[in-house]
Amino acid sequence: MKKQPRITPLQAKIVNAHIEAYKVNKFDSDEDKPEMEQTKEEFITKLKDLRTSRGLFDLVKDQFVSVESQLMMSPTIFGIVSGKAQQGITRGFKTFLNQSHINIK
């Protein structure tokens, strides 16, 4: 099994920006034009500028965070992002950002 590279400082900033946006329920994508109308290059540039995307965060959360951790994260339940949830989110963002067609290092 091929070992994934470590998360880079830029990737860590992107992950942390998304987690903080989730905690206060305010993503930059809520104010932008719909993500479906953006080009890939626009989307990558916004991520590099640490602008947050609700759609990307939800995708990563749904794929890489257990249901139990998602329930704990829910603002209507506990609103706590556990260490396990943060690991899953980080792993998901690392997987997404390291894809060859995204390639944010």
The pLDDT assigned to 101 comes to 83
Which pLDDT score, from 0 to 100, does residue 96 have?
Answer: 92
Task: Kindly compute the dihedral angle of the four CA atoms of residues 71, 75, 77, 78, in this order, to the nearest 10 degrees.
Answer: 90
Rounded-to-integer distance, Cα 80 and Cα 5, Å = 28
18 burial (CB, 10 Å; 0-12 / 13-18 / 19+) is buried
| Residue whose tokens read 């998360």 | 7
- The DSSP symbol for 83 reads H
Digit-by-digit pLDDT tens for the chain (105 residues) are 556 668 999 999 999 999 999 988 889 887 766 666 788 888 899 999 999 999 999 999 999 999 999 988 887 778 789 999 999 999 999 999 998 888 888
- Domain residues of the chain, as ranges? 9-97
Nearest CA to 89 out of 18, 8, 13 is that of: 18
Q: How far apart are CA 57 and CA 89, in angstroms?
A: 8
Task: Please state the pTM of the whole predicted model.
Answer: 0.87
